[in-house]
Structure formats: C-alpha cells, structure tokens
C-alpha cells in the first residue's frame, strides 16, 4: 500500500485514483473473451461501463449481467462490487492487517478520508469491524436467499444467493437471475424482506452500527433509553431514514394503487410490500420489483427525490446522504425563524457542517444539471427518462426507465463519468483538483450586505 501510494498525492487524490485504477483493471478483465458467456469479447465500452457501474455500486447496465457474462465475468463483477462497496482503501488495509503489516500514519489518514472520520485513533480496529460486520451480514443474507433460490435453481441457487446478498448489501442492484431485476419475485415476502434488510443495513452506515451496539450494551448495564443514548449523527441518520422510507412507501402506495401496469391488480399485502420495496430500493440500491418505466409521473418524481437524498454517510449508499439533507433543511427552517443557529435533538449543528451540506448539494445539482443537459443533447428520449437516468447514475442508484440499454456511445460515456463522480463525491473531486495549499489571509476584504431571496 505504501509503495503503491508513494507518489506525492493527497489522501483525497489517492482515493479517487484508486477507484479509477480499479475501474480500468476491472474493464480490462471484463474485455477478455473468457469473461463473455459466448466466448466472444464484449465491446470495450460495455466492459468499461460494467466495471464502472460495479465499482461505483450503481447497477445501471448496458448488457444483461446474467446472460452476457461467463461465470468468470460474473465473479469479476462480484469482486468489483465488493471492492466498490467497502472501498479500495478498506480492502488494501484489510489485506495489510491480515498479513500483519503495520498500518502507518499515511494509511490511517487514507482510512480517515475514505470513511470521513474525525479521528485517526482506532483505525485498525475499525477496519476489522467493518470487514467482519460486512461478511457476517452478507453471509446471513446469502443463507436466507438460499431458502428460495436453491429449491428453484438447484446448486446454481447458491451462487445466485451469494451474488444477490453482496449486491444488495453494497447497494449495487445487480443480479444474475434475469433481465427484469427482481420483478418475478414481487409477491415473494422472503426475497422482499431479505433484500430490504440488506439494503438498509448497507446504507445506514457503519458508524451507526457500532453506535447502536454500544448503546445496547449500556442499556443492559444502566437500563437507559436506547435512542437517547445514541450520538447525534446516529439519531439523524436513523430518523431521516425511517421517515423517508415510510413517507416514500405511503406516497407510492397511493400513486400506484390503481395503476394496472405496476401493482393495480395486486392484493393489499402485495401492494404494501411492493410500495415499501420501491421506497427502500430508491435509497441507491437499484433492484426493482415493479417496472420503473410504468410508474406514474407522481411516483417517478417521488423516486427521484428519494434517489437524490440516498443513504447515510460512511455506508455503501450514495446520494447527498440523509444527514446532509437533514442539516440543510434544519438550517433553512432556522433561517426562516430568524434563529442564528440550527438545532436537532437539542444539539446545535456546527456551522462548518451546514456549509459542507450546502456545498455538497450545490455540487450535486451542478453535476446533475450538466449530465442531464449533455445526455439530452446526445439522446432523443423522454425528458423524465433522461432525468431519471442521470439522477440514478449520480446518486449511484441503478434504477432506469429502460433507457440504459438504448444509450449511444456518447450517452454511455456521459453516464460512466456521472457514476464515477457520484461514487467519489463532488466535494472530494474538487478537493483533489485543488492543488493550491491553504494559506491564511492576513488582509480580509471588507464586508457588504446583499439581498438574498
């Protein structure tokens, strides 16, 4: 790890470069003839697109995963998804720990930036817990999937279960079952429940995991209120996640209740679980149990909002993140109420956090606007389909209204770049591109009032 990153790069530049190297290496492997199911090399643009969507845990695909790739190709894709979900730095750090190699200060700084942590202490323990926790959850999910897939597919069901468990936990949304994602299992409560839980566990963030475990231990010792004993970060992440999932499910249930193309003919129970699944999967997971192109416009707009917000920080999900959204909304209401500071759960939000939230959302909008404009220029498609595609790519969701497979060469390049920017994060990109060292301004410009709003 030290030799690989010995170049004079900042930690942020190193992380961005590591994802790029992983994408190029993955695309090279997928472009080989024996990665293809028919033994004929897949066009490099499709190999590059697949490697990017795997590393960026997005799930948009130009060619069907289950029929295009051989077992070797699917194994490569699975490893890319796992690397993308955990992060290249985490994988390399885990290998160093397993080989009993020392984790130096440079490596700790990489881990700190990769997970957006506030301390350099306890990094080795943190990486061990992340990898162990990931394998435990994915393994449990695979075993539960096997109760359905093994009876249906036989021995192949073991591979399908493992692939789906990793893909769901990493919020990748890719599968090796069929071309229509999980639409064939819209009525299956086991597949729906397991997938939903894996998505939520992956998207809630590792910090929240350990915080809940710590709070549970304190409850047993001191009989405290579990939620009250959590950190502010965990309270915000859990609250916003719960509210968005519930509100999204209710909205989709109402808007799709009588839609014959989606779930108009379902039983009440199936309508409820389909609505819940759609609400959860838009949190950057990418699996679908109902056709996205058949959604009503109202449901599509709700899905766009949920995709844009995404999951929680320090997890496998994308989007601007739940905490960012909560900080921005709270700050806006505080301003409208003429309060000097934003507060949540009786705690003051640091102004630095508010500024970062504004920057994240602003850059996300710029990327989305640019990607949507460019894709509209090169593709003759419905405007809603194009916006759905670019939001899905930027938020690393993977849901599409059947536009991905129809993208021309320029459209594929635009979505590849958008997925990469969405995975590494717009702020990380700007920091990496900024080569100027921070200097303290001794002389400040005068302040002058302006009119806003």
DSSP string, 208-239: HHHHHHHHHHHHHHH---TGGGS-HHHHHHHH
Helix (H, G, I), strand (E, B) or coil at 258: coil
Site of tokens 């709700």 = 302
User: For 289-300, how does the pLDDT look when each residue is reduced to its tens digit (9 = 90+)?
Assistant: 999 999 999 999
Q: What pLDDT sits at residue 315?
A: 77
The Cα–Cα gap between 52 and 49 comes to 5
Sign of the alpha-carbon dihedral angle for 148, 154, 156, 158: positive
Query: Cα–Cα distance between 296 and 279 in angstroms, integer?
Result: 14
Which tokens go with 196?
């939903």
In angstroms and rounded to an integer, the radius of gyration of the C-alpha atoms of the chain is 22
The pairing of strands 343-344 and 347-348 is antiparallel
Q: Locate tokens 């719960």: which residue? A: 242
How far apart are the C-alpha atoms of 439 and 446, rounded to whole Å? 18
Say if pTM beats, i.e. exceeds, 0.85.
yes
Q: Residue 189 and residue 356: Cα distance in Å, rounded?
A: 40
User: Could you tell me if 182 and 175 are in contact, meaning their C-beta atoms sit under 8 angstroms apart?
Assistant: yes
Whether the Cβ atoms of residue 422 and residue 58 lie closer than 8 Å to each other? yes
Contacts of 252 (CB under 8 A, 6+ apart): 275, 278, 279, 299, 302, 303
Q: Is 347 helix (H, G, I), strand (E, B) or coil?
A: strand
Distance of CA 124 to the CA centre of its chain: 24
CA angle 168, 49, 36 (to 5 degrees): 85
Give the position of tokens 């990769």: 114
Angle at 93 between CA 213 and CA 171, to 5 degrees: 60
Average pLDDT over the chain reads: 86
pLDDT in tens, 369-393: 999 999 999 999 999 999 999 999 9
The backbone region for 7, taken as left when phi is positive above 0, alpha when psi lies in -120 to 50, beta otherwise, is: beta
Q: Show pLDDT as tens, one digit a residue, over the chain (453 residues).
A: 444 444 566 667 777 888 889 999 999 999 999 999 999 999 999 999 999 999 998 989 999 999 999 999 999 999 999 988 887 667 666 666 665 666 666 666 656 655 656 555 666 777 788 888 889 999 999 999 999 999 999 999 999 999 999 999 999 989 999 888 999 999 999 999 999 999 999 888 888 888 888 777 766 666 556 777 788 888 999 999 999 999 999 999 999 999 999 999 999 999 999 999 999 999 888 899 999 999 999 999 999 999 999 988 877 788 899 999 999 999 998 888 888 888 888 888 888 888 888 888 999 999 999 999 999 999 999 999 999 999 999 999 999 999 999 999 999 999 999 999 988 876 566 555 555 555 555 566 777 766 666
Dihedral angle at the C-alpha atoms of 70, 316, 157, 286, nearest 10 degrees? -80
CA distance 29 to 50: 11
Collapsing DSSP states into helix, strand and coil, what is residue 307?
A: helix
């Amino acid at each position: 790890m030290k030799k690989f990153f010995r170049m004079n790069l900042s930690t942020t530049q190193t992380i961005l470069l590591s994802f790029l190297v992983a994408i190029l290496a993955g695309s090279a492997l997928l472009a080989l003839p024996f990665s293809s199911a028919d033994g004929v090399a897949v066009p490099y643009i499709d190999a590059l697109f697949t490697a990017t969507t795997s590393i960026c845990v997005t799930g948009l695909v130009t060619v069907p995963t289950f029929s295009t790739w051989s077992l070797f190709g699917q194994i490569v894709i699975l490893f890319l998804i796992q690397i993308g979900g955990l992060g290249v730095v985490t994988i390399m750090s885990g290998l160093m720990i397993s080989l009993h190699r020392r984790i130096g200060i440079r490596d700790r700084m990489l881990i700190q930036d990769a997970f957006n942590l506030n301390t350099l202490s306890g990094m080795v323990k943190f990486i061990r817990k992340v990898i162990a926790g990931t394998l435990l959850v994915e393994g449990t999910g695979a075993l539960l999937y096997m109760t359905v897939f093994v009876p249906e597919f036989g021995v192949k069901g073991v591979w399908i279960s493992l692939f789906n468990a990793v893909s769901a936990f990493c919020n990748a949304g890719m599968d090796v079952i069929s071309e229509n994602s999980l639409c064939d299992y819209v009525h299956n409560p086991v597949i729906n429940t397991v997938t939903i839980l894996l998505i939520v566990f992956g998207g809630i963030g590792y910090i929240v995991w350990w915080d809940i475990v710590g709070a549970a231990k304190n409850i047993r010792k001191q009989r405290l209120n579990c939620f009250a004993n959590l950190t502010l970060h965990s309270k915000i992440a859990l609250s916003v996640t719960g509210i968005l999932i519930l509100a999204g499910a209710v909205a989709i249930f109402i808007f799709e209740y009588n839609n014959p193309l989606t779930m108009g003919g379902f039983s009440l129970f199936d309508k409820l679980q389909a609505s819940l699944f759609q609400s959860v999967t838009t949190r950057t997971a990418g699996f679908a149990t109902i056709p996205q192109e058949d959604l009503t416009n109202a449901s599509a707009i709700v899905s766009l909002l949920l995709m844009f917000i995404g999951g929680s920080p320090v997890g496998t999900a994308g989007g601007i993140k739940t905490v960012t959204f909560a900080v921005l909304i709270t700050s806006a209401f505080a301003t409208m109420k003429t309060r000097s500071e934003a507060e949540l759960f009786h705690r003051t939000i640091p102004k630095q956090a508010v500024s970062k939230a504004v920057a994240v959302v602003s850059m996300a909008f710029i990327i989305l606007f640019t990607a949507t404009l460019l894709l509209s220029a090169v593709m003759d498609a419905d405007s809603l389909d194009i916006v759905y595609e670019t939001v899905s790519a930027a938020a690393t969701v993977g849901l599409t209204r059947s536009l991905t497979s129809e993208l021309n060469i320029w459209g594929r390049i635009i979505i590849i770049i958008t997925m990469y920017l969405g995975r590494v994060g717009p702020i990380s990109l700007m920091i990496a591109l900024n080569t100027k060292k921070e200097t303290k301004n001794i002389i400040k410009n005068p302040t002058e009032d302006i009119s806003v709003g």
